[in-house]
Amino acid sequence: MCGIALALGVNVSANRAVVQGAGTALRIGAANFRRELKRSVALRSLLNRYVSVLLIQLAQTASCISAHLVKQRLARWLLMSHDRAHADTFSVTHAFLAGMLGVRRVGVTEAAGALQSRQLIRYARGRVKIVDRHGLEAAACGCYAIDRDTYRQVLG
């Protein structure tokens, strides 16, 4: 969901949205969105829970970056993307991953190579395929399980 700032009553967002994969999306104008927020208690409640999950995951990411190896963080990121993509294969470049993980491209190359050598993923020409999800979960830091469980508990 984009537009969290608008849901919180802020008219300008400091964020930029990037679409990572194919799929469908819905869009609503700001005025209509504000009107629906006023009208729907259920929508406000859902968005409040979603904001809570985002804040928890943001805090988890901050501690993850400072405490875990690039390989573990890459495994976490791939699992989270896999959860959202609902497909075993998706497009992502080393340059994009480097930006997401806050490392140099060579760090992504090494980490992806390590995961690939363990036959957890296949990676070629900007396409990654999750080959062994359970193995990838074992390779990820514990932050992935915390993120997944938080999402399930708060959003269902």
- Residue ranges of the domains in the chain? 1-16+28-67, 69-140
Q: What is the pLDDT of residues 103-123, one digit of tens each?
A: 999 999 999 999 999 999 999
pLDDT, position 32: 94
Please tell me the pTM assigned to this model: 0.86
pLDDT, position 122: 97
State yes or no: pLDDT of 128 exceeds 80.
Answer: yes
pLDDT, position 74: 97
Q: How confident is the model at residue 2 (pLDDT cuts 50, 70, 90)?
A: confident
As a whole number of angstroms, the distance between CA 14 and CA 27 comes to 19
State yes or no: pLDDT of 89 exceeds 90.
Answer: yes
Percent of the chain at pLDDT exceeding 70: 100
Q: What is the pLDDT of residues 42-76, one digit of tens each?
A: 999 999 999 999 999 999 999 999 999 999 999 99
More confident residue, 91 or 117: 117
DSSP per-residue letters across 70-139? HHHHHHHHHHHHHHHHTSSEEE--HHHHHHHHTS-HHHHHHHHHHHHHTTSEEEETTEEEES-HHHHHHH
Domain 69-140 fold is Arc Repressor Mutant, subunit A (1.10.10)
